């Protein structure tokens, strides 16, 4: 094995973020084992990697143990959009909690360094703005989003308990809204929704008055943050916020997408879903300090690349319905 070359496991490796991470780790010279059950991931996302002799794929559900030998683990497995994680909320909790237990057990046995992809949803509907890592959050534990929010909060608890009890070498990143090519076309997130609706000149749906805010991080920036956090000194366990501190209202985003696509779409309002957070913006001071990291890709540049991706998909498949029905 070449100096510095590691055998790295990526759970959820065929998903939106996971596929970009696999790509980056291969480019960095590592052997990569991609694990996915294809609930929201897609073989299409990793087809271009299959000829690489340093890339392996296993179809596996992380709620069951996995017996392999690895040096590092990136635990990304979990549906991450409301449409997908609310489809089977019990399984979502199992994926977060049982999946964390199984991957932590694997890390303990192999003495691997392990990374947890947590989420800004651990902050719930925040009463502190912007959100810092010291904020404990405002989460409804019995609401329709709790399967994801509380599942991820419990996973963080498990990571830090394994760290304290077994001296496991952990990393925890709290991911804020991320977008880019390979997003699932029907994940219900605002960026993919707005782009697909705009490209088809359909009404663009916003919820409430559209004044709720989000911060949008391009996928390349986020993956750079992942790699820097995993490579940080051992005392940098996290949690560390990774996201773009630029803040936009949902209506602003819709207007930008309409402009950039040249769409004839009208913006229409629908009732606000329960527990939908009104504000979301990361304080990334810690990431700047301990990782020397901050996003580089402006929103319009990232949107341009994402629009081109979805435009290509729609041209090949005709409609989003045909696209959603295509083998994944």
* Residues known to be catalytic: 148
CA distances (Å), 232 to each of 228, 257, 314, in order?
6, 36, 40
CB 49 within 8 A of CB 22: yes
**Three-state DSSP class for residue 196:** helix
In sequence order, what are the beta bridge partners of 173? 117, 240
Of 172, 53, 187, 51, nearest to 113 (Cα)? 172
Provide DSSP, 58-98: EE--TTS------SEEEE--S--SHHHHTTSHHHHHHHHHH
CA distances (Å), 92 to each of 30, 115, 150, in order?
30, 19, 10
In sequence order, what are the beta bridge partners of 72? 8, 113
CB 109 within 8 A of CB 67: no
Of 66, 282, 303, nearest to 174 (Cα)? 282
Query: Burial of 186 by CB count in 10 Å (0-12 exposed, 13-18 middle, 19+ buried)?
Result: middle
The span from the CA of 69 to the CA of 223, in Å, is 24
In sequence order, what are the beta bridge partners of 58? 35
The span from the CA of 234 to the CA of 213, in Å, is 34
CB 266 within 8 A of CB 279: no
């Amino acid at each position: 094995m070449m100096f510095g070359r590691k055998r790295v496991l990526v759970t959820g490796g065929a998903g939106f973020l996971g596929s970009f991470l696999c790509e980056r780790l291969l480019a960095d010279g590592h052997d990569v084992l991609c694990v996915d059950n294809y609930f929201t991931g897609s073989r299409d996302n990793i087809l271009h990697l299959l000829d690489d002799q340093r890339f392996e794929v296993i179809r596996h559900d992380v709620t069951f143990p996995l017996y392999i030998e690895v040096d590092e683990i990136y635990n990304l497995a979990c549906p991450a959009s409301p449409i997908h994680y609310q489809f089977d909320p019990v399984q979502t909790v199992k994926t977060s909690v049982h999946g964390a237990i199984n991957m932590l057990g694997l890390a303990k046995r192999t003495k691997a360094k392990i990374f947890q992809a947590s989420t800004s949803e651990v902050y719930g509907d925040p009463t502190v703005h912007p959100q810092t890592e010291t904020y404990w959050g405002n989460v409804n534990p019995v609401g329709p989003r709790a399967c994801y929010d509380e599942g991820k909060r419990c996973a963080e608890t498990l990571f830090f308990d394994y760290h304290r009890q077994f001296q496991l070498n952990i990393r925890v990143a709290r991911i804020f809204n991320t977008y880019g090519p390979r997003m699932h076309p029907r994940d219900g997130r605002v960026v993919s929704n707005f782009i697909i609706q705009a490209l088809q000149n359909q009404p663009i749906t916003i919820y409430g008055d559209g004044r709720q805010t989000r911060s949008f991080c391009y996928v390349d920036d986020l993956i750079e943050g992942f790699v820097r956090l995993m490579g940080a000194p051992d005392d940098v366990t996290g949690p560390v916020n990774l996201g773009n501190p630029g803040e936009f209202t949902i209506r602003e985003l819709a207007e930008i997408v309409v402009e950039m696509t040249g769409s004839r779409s009208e913006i229409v309002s629908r009732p606000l879903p329960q527990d939908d957070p009104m504000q979301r913006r990361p304080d990334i001071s810690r990431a700047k300090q301990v990782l020397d990291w901050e996003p580089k890709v402006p929103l319009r540049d990232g949107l341009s690349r994402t629009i081109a991706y979805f435009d290509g998909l729609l041209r090949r498949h005709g409609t989003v319905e045909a696209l959603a029905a295509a083998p994944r």
